[in-house]
Structures are given as C-alpha cells and as structure tokens.
Structure 1
Amino acid sequence: MFDHPDLATLRQCSILCSAAYTVVFFFMAGRRAWYLYWGWGACSYCASLILAALVGEPFPVWTQMVTDGVLAFSMALVLAGVRRFDGVRGFVPWMWGVVAATAIMPSAAVAALGRGPAASACWSLTMACCSFVLAVPLLLGRTNDGSTRPRRIAGCLLMLYVPVYLTVAGCQMFAPQAAATLEGVPFLADQLLFGAANLALLWIPASHSEHRLRQMALRDPLTGVWNRAALAASEAELLVPGRVALLVDVDRFKAINDRHGHGVGDRVLVAIATALQHSVGGDFVARLGGDEFLVIASADDPATIIDRIRGHSGGDEAELPAWTVSIGAARIEAGDRSIDDVIQRADQLMYRAKDRGRTPVAA
C-alpha cells in the first residue's frame, strides 16, 4: 500500500529528467538564445532539487528562500525563452517580481506561523500562484508564425501544476493525516508534466520552421504575394459568390525587359505587387506567372478597388520606368465550380480591355 512515498527516489527521478533536458537544450543552443533560456530553466530546476536533497528537511529559512527562488526562476525561464524566441526581451520586471514573491512568501510564513500545516500550505499556494501567473501568457498569447499550438500546450502543462499544488495545500490545512502521502504528488507530476512541457518547447521552433517552409511554398519568391499553389489551396475559401476576380496584366512588359533589362523588369513586378496589396488591403493577391496577377476582392463595389489600382499605376519608386496595367473583372457566380472558371472569364475581359489601349478595364 502506497502510504509513504519514497521522496528520495522521486526527487532523483526529477533530477535525472531535468538534467537530461538541460543537456538537450544546451546542445541545441548555438547562438539561439531561447534554447539557452530553456536549458538554464531545466538546470535551475535540477539545482533546486539537489540543494533541497543536500540540506534535508526541515530547511533553514535561507535555504528555503534560495530553493523556492530558484524553483520559481526555472519556471520563469520557460516564459522568458518563449519571449526571446519572439525577438523581445526575455525577462521583464513583473517576472522578477513573481520570482521574488515566490522566494519570500513561504519563508515569511514560516517566520510568522512557525513550521506547521499553515506554513506548508502557504508554500503550496505560493507555488500554485507562481505556476498560474507564468502559464497565463503562454495560454493567451497569439502568434501568426505557426507556433501557437505548442505554446498553449506548454502553458496548459504548466497550468496543471496549479490543481496539484492546491490539492496538496488543501490536505495540509484540512487533512494533515493525508499530507504525508501527498507530499510526493508534485514529484509524480514532474514525471509527466515536466518532460511533456519541455517537449512542447522543442516543438515551438519546429512548428515555426514548418510554417515558414509552408509559406515559402505558397509565396512567389520574387514579389512575396501568393502563387498558384496558394490559389489551389485556398480555392474553397475564395470561391464565394459575389466576390470579384480581377485579372491584372502589365502592358508591354516585354518592352520594359528589352529596353531596361530583366533586373529592372523584376523590380517593376515587385512594385506592381506592392501596389496591388496596398490597393486591396487584406484581400487575396497572387502572381499567376510572368506579368499576370490575380486579385480576389471581397468589396461590394469593385470599381473602388479598380480605381485604387489604376491610381497606383506607374509606381512612385524612383528610377523605374513607367508602367500601366490592363484589368479584367469578373464576379464569382453561384454556378462556378472552380476558380479557373472565373479566371477564364476575367482573362477574356482583360484581353478585351487591352484592345482598348493602356490602363483600361473590362468588367
């Protein structure tokens, strides 16, 4: 019967687990600061357990302050590493405040109440608060780099320490006879939560890299707008009756290349892509190939968007030749089964527009 857990064995397991992740994070670090933060976090946690094992209970007040502070510091380093991954400062003042409060409050409770159930419960409640405060930014943070899911998983795992510590605190206060049995619960939680949280941290850079590769596959490498692969992947979302497909073609683009060189021609394409993005805001802009672009606009009045596109024609960038575009506009209809049906209609209208001269529109 599991009446009195072997705390020494559980502590050793936690030490070995944290030491293993320390080696992994430091080995992967290189010049990537976030791995160093997570490595020092695992190392700090390992150090707090070793210090507690060496000193033994009951802890002197100074030992408890140092141990609790290092333990809180190890949790804060998880969040600090994520912040460094985002390119901002790792530690901010409120995080240092959490570490300091976690180090001081349990020792202050011992000094005020003496060693007993109330002081032990104060320690558990303090650790629960520390876990909660440091987990919330991971749970609520939103990113567009593909790493939101592993961040939230890491935050959830850190948050799961809260009910663990609250349960221990409740037993210490109201069921002291069960407190000895539950002493090992945080160490048991470590065997699952600590390792899983570190795996989630390792997943953050991996998911970010996967997102970047996916974006590269769906983006035109020259202009940065979407490409045909992105058009095919987003077809179901774009094929909404009432929207307007604008097929934009550069007038006499071959003459620009022949007269000014392909380097200047590439810069003209970039300028046109930028002008289209500025004209339609968050709507879909893709380069179909060569000097042909597609815009899927959600505005009720496509004439407004067309006027903005024509207003950008010619570009404002110095040392670029003047350029104009021809536009064919076709509204997406309920009977359209694919985006190619709409593009074909817009293409016919665009060539009809070209027959009328420069910067024309056919709709």
Structure 2
Amino acid sequence: MPDLSTLRQCSFLASAAYAVVFLVAAGGRRAPWMRWWALSSASYCVVLLGYASLGEPMPVWAAAPLNGLLSLSTAFILAGVRSLDRRAPFARWMWAVVAATAIVPAAAIVLPGEGAMLAGRLLLALGLAVGMLAFGWPLAFSHASDGSRAMRQTAGMALLCYIPCYALGAVGEVVSARAVPYLALVPMLADQVLLSIANLSLLAIPGMRSERQLQEIALCDPLTGVWNRAALAANEAVLRVPGRVVLLIDIDHFKAINDHHGHGVGDGVLVAIARALQRGAAGDFVCRLGGDEFLVVTTADDAAAVAERLRERASRPVADLPPWSVSVGLARIEPGDATMADAMQRADRAMYRAKDAGRGRIAA
C-alpha cells in the first residue's frame, strides 16, 4: 500500500498540472472562471505542502488554518461556476463556511485535558465534510439549462464523494488510534480518482455550454429570435403528436409593406409579430418558416380560441410601423400523418381560404 507522503506528492503534481492547464485555458481576461479554477488547484497545492510540513499526527492549531484553506480551494470551484453564470463569484455564506472550517476546530484547544486533541481532530474532519457538502451540493444538484448540467453534477458528486472518506477518518479517531494512519490514507487514495473527475468535468463545462449556444443559434431565426425550419425538423418527432393543432400564420399584403415602406420596416413588422406570437403562445412551439410565414404548434384543447387570440395579438398596431393584418389556417395533426408536412399542407389550404374570405381572419 502506498504511504501518505507518496499519495500527497501525486495529488500535488496533478493539482499543479491542472492549475497550469486552467491558466492556459483562461486566455487572458476572456475566461475568468478558468482563473478561479486555477486558483483552486494552486491553493490545494499549498494545502498539501502545509500538511506535509506538519507531519503526523498534525497539531490541531496548525491544521485548522490549512483546513480553512482547503475549504477555500473548494469554494473557488463553485466561484468559477458562478462566474461562468455571470453571478458574483462569492456569496457571503461561502465566506462564512470557509471561516467556520478554520475557526471551529482551532477553538477546541481551549478544552481541558486530552479530550481537546480528540475533539479538535474530530472537528477537523467534520469541517472538511461540511465544506465539501456546502460547495459540492449546488453543483451536484444543478438545474442548469445551458447544456453543462451533466458535467456540473459530475464535478459536484466528485466533491461529495470526499465526505465518506473524511467520515472514516473521524471514525478512526474514536475507535482506535492504530487505525488512524491507515484511515488517513483513504481521502488521499480517493483523491487520485476524484481530483481528475472534478477537474476534467470543470474543463468540459464551458465547451458544452458553447456547444449548446451554437446549437441554439443554428436553430433560431436570426431576425426574429423564434425557432426556424431547422428547429422544426429537429423537433418533429416530439411535435408530431395526433390531436395537436398546427397554426399557419401569414402576413396579408406583406409585399406591399416592403414595396411602400422598405425592407427595414418589413423586418420590423416581422419582429413585432414574432414577439406577439411568443407572448401569446403560452409555451407552444413558435417557428418562422421563412419570408412572412410563421407556424405555431399548440397543445391547447380549444385551438380555435388560441388561433383567434394569436391573430388579434399579431395584428395589433405598433408605433412607427404601418398597420397590417394576418390570416391563420388551422389543421389538426392526424394519426395517419407521416410527417409534419401533411398537417402543414392542410393548414396552408385553410390559410388561403381565410385570405379568400377577406383576410385578417382564421379558417380551419
């Protein structure tokens, strides 16, 4: 079995390497979260050097500040994630946790007799567990919707996995003094695996977030911000549910608006209609098919009422823009529809019936 000194050296070298990787990845000022993560790895290196200099058994009064620094190195991980999310890196509660992990174990030295040493060492292990829990929990149970949720949770779970390791150390303090040197190896053995899992997960978070952003850009209409045809194709399997209703929305006399007022004004009309549809669709799928055509897939029971509400909202006048109206065609998705195009064709025919009937109305 490897000795404690060797394991600490391995963790030191790995942490130093990760600190360099994070600094290189930071790229100057473009990625401040990488600097927080580099600071986390670097401060952990300082902690390991401090533990090595104290020897075994470590005096509580000297180990307590190092515990606080270890807790701070973990807080830097969460600070980096908060920075990535454009939040203040540190919250007040984070400083409070770091301070508690350093101060509370040191306070045990005022206890009388040999119990002071035992209480201090138990509080050291408890403080480490509390720090890992406080800073690992927000990551392990992250609800991020930017594509990086899995990697955040992986990094957080790696931090939480240290807690049972510290708990074993505390058990050894109480049960048997002979067991302490062996149980002290457990956190460092786990460190060889958990350290890499946490840091590699952190490295993956920005990349996965950027990938999700690129996907959303590719699936969004650049002018109006609603989904585009590519998004419709990508989500067809989810959207093509029998019973749902397709609403095809077309701007009446849109060419005349462009001819008389210019394409800039026409773009303004498209943006105004897209915003009105998004606000009125209540979470339904809204898509710009191209030109002056929009599509909404609704799950509402009264699709006709939804269509009339959207027609009215999408036709409301907007300051500095000419008046306009829209025609809406409805078609229910049938069990026999092989693709969304089947329902869209029926909605298209209904929409032209609305135009033939005088425009500015709905038809099913």
Shared fold, TM over 0.5: yes
Shift of 1:313: 3.5
Cross-structure match for 1:64: 63
Q: How far apart are 1:116 and its partner, in Å? A: 4.7
- Specify the alignment match of 2:156 in structure 1: 155
Distance across 2 between alignment mates of 1:315 and 1:65? 66
- The equivalences for 1:150-189 within 5 A come to 150-189=151-190
Pairwise mapping of residues 259-270 of structure 1 onto structure 2 (< 5 A)?
259-270=260-271
AA partner of residue 64 (structure 1): A
The Cα of 1:294 is off from its aligned counterpart by: 0.6
Equivalent-residue separation in structure 2 for 1:348 and 1:231 (angstroms): 20
Per the TM alignment, residue 175 of structure 1 is displaced from its structure 2 partner at its CA by: 3.1
Structure 2 counterpart of 1:74 = 73
Tell me, what secondary structure is at the counterpart of 2:331? Answer: strand
Please give the alpha-carbon distance, in whole angstroms, between the structure 2 residues aligned to 1:327 and 1:314. Answer: 11
Shift of residue 142, structure 1, vs aligned partner: 0.9
For 2:101 and 2:354, the matched residues in 1 are separated by: 71
1:12 corresponds to 2:9: yes
CA displacement at 1:303 relative to structure 2 = 2.3
What is residue 42 of structure 2 aligned with on the other side? 43
Name the structure 2 match of 1:241: 242
User: Secondary structure of 2:15's partner?
Assistant: helix
Aligned equivalents of 1:94, 1:278: Cα separation in 2: 37
CA RMSD in angstroms comes to 1.7
Q: In structure 2, what is the equivalent of residue 28 of structure 1?
A: 25
The residue number in structure 2 matching 1:101 is 100
Q: Match for residue 299 of structure 2? A: 298
Q: Which residue of 1 aligns with 2:251?
A: 250
Moved more, 155-164 or 61-70: 61-70
Do the aligned residues in 2 keep the contact of 1:118 with 1:173 (CA within 8 Å)? no
Task: Describe the shift of the 1:225–1:341 C-alpha distance in structure 2 as closer, same or farther (beyond 3 A).
Answer: same
CA distance in 2, matches of 1:61, 1:330: 74
Following superposition, the deviation at residue 360 of structure 1 comes to: 1.8
Contact 1:51 1:67 in 2 (8 A): yes
TM-score (norm 1): 0.94
Following TM superposition, by how much is the alpha carbon of 1:233 offset from its aligned partner in structure 2, in angstroms? 1.4
Cα distance in 1 between the residues matched to 2:344 and 2:61: 74
Post-superposition offset of 1:126: 2.0
Report the alpha carbon displacement of residue 60 of structure 1 after superposing the two structures with TM: 5.1
Moved over 4 A (4+): 57-62, 113-118
**Structure 1 pair 316–175 and aligned structure 2 pair: CA distance change class (3 A):** farther
Quick one: distance in 2 between partners of 1:352 and 1:334? 24
What do the CA deviations read for 1:265-304 (whole angstroms, capped 9, x no partner)?
Answer: 1121111111111111200011111111110011111122
Deviations 1:229-284 (A, max 9, x none): 11111112111222110000111111111111112111211111111111112000
Confirm or deny: 8 A CA contact 1:271 1:315 kept in the other structure: no
Counterpart code for 2:17: A
Number of residue pairs matched by the alignment: 360
Quick check: 1:14–1:190 contact (8 Å CA) kept in 2? yes
SS class of match (2:178): helix
Amino acid at match of 2:16: A
Q: Which moved more, 1:190-199 or 1:301-310?
A: 301-310
Residues 35-62 of structure 1: CA deviation (Å, up to 9, x unaligned): 1111111111111111222343454555
Whether contact under 8 Å (2:328, 2:361) holds in the other structure is: yes
Code of the residue aligned with 2:78 in structure 1: it is: L
**TM-score normalised by structure 2 residue count:** 0.94
Counterpart for residue 338 of structure 2: 337
Pairs within 5 Å for 1:193-204: 193-204=194-205
In 1, the alpha carbon distance for the partners of 2:328 and 2:352 equals 8
Report SS of the residue matched to 1:176: coil
Unaligned 5+ runs, structure 1: none
Identical amino acids, percent of aligned pairs = 53
Structure 2's unaligned 5+ residue stretches are: none
Identify if the C-alpha distance between structure 1 residues 316 and 176 changes in structure 2 by more than 3 Å, giving closer, same or farther.
farther
Q: Quick one: distance in 2 between partners of 1:40 and 1:254?
A: 59
Partner SS state of residue 310, structure 1: helix
CA distance in 1, matches of 2:239, 2:91: 42
2:250 and 2:326 in contact (8 A); partners too: yes
